[in-house]
Structure 1
Amino acid sequence: MDQETLGSIVLLVIVTLISVVQNAFFANKVEHESRHCNGKVLQRQGSSSFDRVYTANQNCGHAYPTFLAVLWCAGLLCSQAPAAFAGLMYLFVRQKYFVGYLGERTQSTPGYLFGKRIILFLFLMSVAGILNYYLVFFFGSDFEIHIKTITSAISPLLLIP
């Protein structure tokens, strides 16, 4: 791969690798809790603390493919930097959700709702990139600079709860 191609995806790769490390952390928590509660590796029956860790891990895993898809689509079709920033924010709120789920379940709700908003933002970035592609293809009008400006300006608003 040439440097230009790598430069256009390196932030997305970094966020993806951080998410892999986070998944390994979640899996390690499940294994640790299983050993702590049952003395054996990965028995599904156990204490309520094991059930909470296991369920939090499963819930995070269910949204993971969607997150990766919209992260890469938004980064490739629209703008890499805002997509990577939103991806980092998603990983942060996913961590907040996981840790919140281990406590009272109401503590996980803000992370869940915030995560949904970030997924929506990445989805809308992807749609904007697709629309821009077809505007260029059919009409010769390129709005890429405007879309990048808008997404760069809007992405910090994701920090507002």
Structure 2
Amino acid sequence: MENVVVENIYLLVVVTLVSVVQNAFFALKVEKECNSPAFERVSCAKRNCMDAYATFLALMWCAGLCLSQAPAAFAGLVYILVRHKYFLGYMGQTSQSTPGYLFGKRVLFFLVLMCALGIVNYLLVRYCGSDCHKELLETLTKAASALLLIP
């Protein structure tokens, strides 16, 4: 029984751990810039990333558990890369962080859609007794997750 649970969440766990390492990188970068003129920008970029972090984790885990682990984990990795791009862009000029910010919103929206589809599927199974939609939804989300790579 325990192997089944781990099998269903290991990708989500890996992405979560990668995001924790990224947060540690952000914190070290802020500490390194402590006595420099760029401290305010780096600190603000880290704060902005941390503000969205809980939302990202909740959406990724809900999407992975309610619908499909692989597309949710893939979207999570894309979000981590985009968040890194945002952080580095914010250290330059604020306008350089805009593409990362907009791309991150798109990934979060995809995760919200996955959560909603998973919940609707659960309700259909629970109250209508039809489970044929889950495979279709998983296939669609796997295909749609590749669209996240389009800038």
Shorter-chain TM-score: what band? Answer: over 0.9
Query: How far 1:4 moved relative to its partner?
Result: 1.2
| 2:76 paired with 1:91 | no
Aligned to 1:155: 145
> Take 2:58 and 2:20, find their aligned partners in 1: how far apart are those partners?
14
Higher relative contact order (CA 8 A, sep 6+): 2
- The code of the aligned residue for 1:158 comes to L
> Take 2:111 and 2:144, find their aligned partners in 1: how far apart are those partners?
11
Aligned to 1:73: 62
**TM-score, with structure 2 as normaliser:** 0.97
Instruction: Encode CA deviations 1:59-101: one digit per residue, 9 max, x unaligned.
Output: 0000000000000000000000000000000000000000000
Aligned to 2:47: 58
> Take 2:134 and 2:17, find their aligned partners in 1: how far apart are those partners?
27
Q: Which runs of 5+ in 2 are unaligned?
A: none
Query: How far 1:14 moved relative to its partner?
Result: 0.2
> Take 2:125 and 2:3, find their aligned partners in 1: how far apart are those partners?
26
Matched residues, percent identical?
A: 60
Aligned length: 150
> Take 1:13 and 1:121, find their aligned partners in 2: how far apart are those partners?
19
Alignment RMSD (CA, Å): 0.8
> Take 1:155 and 1:111, find their aligned partners in 2: how far apart are those partners?
17
Moved runs in structure 1, 4+ residues, more than 3 A? none
For the pair shown, the structure with the greater C-alpha radius of gyration is: 1
Aligned to 1:41: none
